[in-house]
């Protein structure tokens, strides 16, 4: 009976898409779904509206209110247009930038959005082709725009696409604008409320000129070009995994002085189906397999892969046995900040007003490196919009020199306000050259950091709980962790508990202090006497609860890595049992 009621509801909703406000192909597809005896497809497409959240839209492409199509994208753009017109009513001309990735329909959604913005009297700078996400962020500030959007689903599977909204600082929208835009998007009742007829006079195509200005700025990120000059023939393999990185990353590496960059030919083909990988995610070893195969063939020093919108980078290098190993997101972030901080100190560039940023679930080893080099390290929530917020708050007062997160994103500059694989690829290549200059491989440099600052092993556990009952289970788990925090983890006493929902921290003596964060967030953290850290949070986009485990060991020499790693894994196993995961 319940199912019949649901079918009745989705049928009524789908029939509203059979009006002249929707194109003939869309109407034909809706009729096909309505006529199908199996209503699964119809239910999936219409049982809810694709929600415009604080990160924009993301979903499977297709016809229906719960799908990415020109109408759901159109509703988002119309709502954003309405919000911009209210917020910048005093400006003679509001303007926006539109970028997109390599995905199927990305160009269509970008052009559709350009028409809608222009129909609302908003000036549009539309990139002539796919471009990396960080370049769109750069262009918003560079061209003095009030907003911008990027059509991308990042590293999601090929069936997905997405829509991210940015504000005038080039960062993804935060409060109060995120909620304001959501309200305006929610107010769009149907396709009839969307102005699809564009004004070509308000749409300007951009491309090479902005590319050059962006790449010139990326070049300024280089700290020690002399090391590159001495190792310009260092062999690098790069793959864009069919995505936007191919537009600028090989060119950027050449501008920095690297003369021996090889690309994976099969993956230098723009293709939203990502035919050569299971998933276009540089966090997964499989996505780098073709690049590593090429690296073995030519005896390269470094492998790099960017995700489809080129904001994240995954790297691989040779270990002490000559075997190719992946460097994880925490290690990558640590290499970046170690290099920047120690080089700044060595070159006498520290003036006392520098700061760097990491997310709360990223390794605490970075904080140790910052403290030792007398540079302020800030903690923020997961997501680059929070790192961008810290930059914006200190603009003109302090100097940002780098920030990153465990999920393979890093930003070395402040002229972009989102993670940037273009500058990150160039900088990690410079770090490899600098290591070589000092008689080390990148892997040996990583081991030396562990020897100096202590060993840290990070491990993420995702507990999937689908459906309504799953959501209730996740809530119950969080409630239980709040009410009954662990007293010990991995054989070490819990000495500090941080609850970002109440914005309070409690130490083992029972003393309570406030947490200085911009807003509450459903995250719990436990810190132990010997430096272990456990973070727990429900995912904001998927039906799962995430556990980030970080355990500490000492590592007296490079050769002690295997022992430290094995001991840490054993401790991770104990903590997992204690947490019931």
State whether 267 and 390 are in the same domain.
yes
CA–CA separation, 543 vs 315, rounded Å? Answer: 29
Distance CA 347, CA 217 (A): 21
Check if the beta carbon of residue 29 is closer than 8 Å to that of residue 63.
Answer: yes
In a domain, 215, yes or no: no
Rounded-to-integer distance, Cα 15 and Cα 125, Å: 36
pTM summary value: 0.95
Q: Are residues 245 and 190 in the same domain?
A: no
Mark whether 381 and 525 lie in a shared domain: no
Q: Does residue 247 form part of some domain?
A: yes
Q: Are residues 536 and 548 in the same domain?
A: yes
Beta strands in 219-284 (DSSP E): 236-239, 261-263
Q: Are residues 272 and 228 in the same domain?
A: yes
Q: Is residue 144 in some structural domain?
A: yes
Tell me which residue range forms the domain holding 245: 223-453
Beta bridge partners of 239: 305
Structure tokens at 237: 């393999």
**Nearest Cα residue to 41 out of 15, 1, 73, 7:** 7
Tokens of 61: 């492409």
Each residue of 425-470: pLDDT tens digit?
Answer: 999 999 999 999 999 999 999 999 999 999 999 999 999 988 777 8
pLDDT in tens, 563-577: 999 999 999 999 999
Q: What is the DSSP letter of 61?
A: B
Query: Is there a single domain that holds both residue 17 and residue 55?
Result: no
| Residue pLDDT tens, the chain, 581 long | 358 888 999 999 999 999 999 999 999 999 999 999 999 999 999 998 888 887 789 999 999 999 999 999 999 999 999 999 999 999 999 999 999 999 999 999 999 999 999 999 999 999 999 999 999 999 999 999 999 999 999 988 999 999 999 999 999 999 899 999 999 999 998 999 999 999 999 999 999 999 999 999 999 999 999 999 999 999 999 999 999 999 999 999 999 999 999 999 999 999 999 999 999 999 999 999 999 999 999 999 999 999 999 999 999 999 999 999 999 999 999 999 999 999 999 999 999 999 999 999 999 999 999 999 999 999 999 989 999 999 999 999 999 999 999 999 999 999 999 999 999 999 999 999 999 999 999 999 999 999 999 999 999 999 998 877 788 899 999 999 999 999 999 999 999 999 999 999 999 999 999 999 999 999 999 999 999 999 999 987 677 899 999 999 989 999 999 999 999 999 999 999 999 99
The tokens describing 581, both together, are 């995961």
Alpha-carbon gap, residue 53 to 57, rounded angstroms: 7
Residues 306 and 419 in one domain: yes
**Strand ranges for 434-558 from DSSP E:** 455-464, 488-489, 492-499, 504-507, 512-514, 524-528, 533-538, 544-553
Number of domains in the chain: 4
Residues 239 and 347 in one domain: yes
- The residue from 65, 106, 113, 154 that is catalytic is 154
pLDDT tens per residue across span 92-134 = 999 999 999 999 999 999 999 999 999 999 999 999 999 999 9
Beta strands in 37-106 (DSSP E): 57-60, 95-100
**In a shared domain, residues 368 and 478:** no
Q: For residues 253 and 425, is the Cβ–Cβ distance under 8 A? A: yes
> 9 lies in a domain?
yes
The CA angle 375-378-380, to the nearest 5 degrees, is: 160
Task: Give tens-digit pLDDT for 80-93.
Answer: 999 999 999 999 99
- What is the CA 574 to chain-centroid distance, rounded? 30
Q: Label residue 439 exposed, middle or buried (CB < 10 Å: 0-12, 13-18, 19+).
A: exposed
Q: Could you confirm whether 154 is annotated as catalytic?
A: yes
In a domain, 6, yes or no: yes
Domain identity same for 400 and 486:
no
Task: For residues 397 and 339, state if they share a domain.
Answer: yes
CA–CA dist 280, 305 (Å, integer)? 9
What six digits make up the tokens of 325? 């190993």
Q: Are residues 330 and 396 in the same domain?
A: yes
Percent of the chain as helix, strand, coil, to the nearest 5: 40, 20, 35
């Amino acid at each position: 009976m319940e199912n019949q009621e649901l079918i009745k509801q989705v049928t009524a909703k789908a029939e509203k898409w059979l009006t002249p406000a929707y194109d003939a192909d869309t109407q034909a597809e809706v009729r096909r779904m309505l006529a199908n005896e199996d209503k699964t497809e119809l239910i999936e497409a219409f049982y809810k509206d694709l929600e415009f959240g604080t990160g924009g839209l993301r979903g499977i492409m297709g016809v229906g209110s719960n799908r990415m199509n020109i109408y759901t994208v159109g509703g988002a753009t119309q709502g954003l247009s309405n919000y911009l017109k209210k917020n910048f009513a005093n400006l003679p001309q509001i303007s926006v930038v539109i970028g997109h990735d390599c995905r199927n329909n990305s160009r269509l959604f970008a052009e559709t959005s350009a028409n809608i913005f222009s129909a609302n009297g908003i000036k549009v700078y539309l990139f002539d082709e796919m471009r990396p996400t960080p370049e769109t962020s750069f262009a918003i500030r560079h061209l003095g725009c009030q907003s911008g959007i990027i059509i991308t689903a990042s590293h999601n599977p090929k069936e997905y696409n997405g829509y991210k909204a940015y504000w005038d600082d080039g960062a993804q929208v935060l409060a109060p604008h995120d909620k304001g835009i959501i309200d305006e998007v929610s107010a769009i009742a149907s396709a009839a409320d969307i102005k699809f007829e564009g004004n070509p006079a308000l749409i300007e195509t951009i491309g090479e000129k902005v590319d050059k200005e962006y790449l010139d700025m990326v070049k300024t990120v280089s700290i020690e070009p002399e090391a590159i000059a001495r190792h310009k023939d260092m062999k690098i393999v790069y793959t864009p995994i069919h995505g936007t990185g191919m537009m600028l990353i090989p060119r950027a590496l050449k501008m920095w002085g690297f003369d021996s960059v090889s690309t994976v030919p099969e993956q230098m083909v723009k293709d939203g189906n990502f035919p050569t990988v299971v998933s276009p995610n540089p966090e997964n070893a499989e996505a780098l397999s073709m690049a590593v195969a090429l690296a073995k063939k030519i005896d390269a020093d470094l492998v790099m892969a960017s995700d489809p919108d080129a904001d994240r980078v995954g790297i691989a290098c040779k270990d002490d046995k000559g075997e190719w190993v992946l460097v994880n997101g925490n290690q990558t972030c640590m290499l970046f900040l170690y290099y920047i901080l120690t080089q700044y100190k060595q070159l006498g560039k520290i003036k006392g007003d520098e700061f760097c940023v990491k997310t709360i679930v990223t390794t605490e080893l970075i904080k140790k490196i910052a403290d030792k080099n007398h540079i302020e390290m800030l903690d923020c929530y997961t997501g680059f919009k929070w790192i961008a917020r810290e930059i914006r708050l200190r603009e003109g007062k302090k100097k940002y020199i780098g920030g990153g997160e465990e999920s393979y994103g890093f930003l070395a500059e402040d002229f972009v306000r989102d993670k940037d694989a273009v500058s990150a690829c160039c900088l990690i290549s410079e770090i490899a050259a600098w290591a070589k200059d000092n008689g080390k491989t990148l892997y040996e440099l990583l081991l030396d950091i562990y020897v100096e600052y202590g060993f840290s092993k990070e491990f993420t556990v995702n507990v999937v709980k689908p459906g309504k009952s799953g959501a209730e289970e996740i809530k119950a788990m969080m409630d239980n962790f709040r009410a009954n925090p662990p007293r010990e983890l991995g054989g070490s006493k819990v000495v500090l508990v941080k609850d970002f929902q109440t914005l309070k921290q409690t130490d083992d003596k029972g003393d309570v202090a406030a947490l200085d964060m911009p807003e509450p967030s459903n995250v719990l953290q436990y810190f132990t006497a010997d430096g272990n850290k456990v973070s727990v949070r429900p995912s904001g986009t998927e039906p799962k609860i995430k556990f980030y485990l970080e355990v500490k060991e000492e590592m007296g020499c490079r050769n002690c890595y295997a022992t430290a790693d094995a001991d840490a894994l054993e401790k991770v196993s104990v903590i997992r049992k204690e947490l019931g995961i």
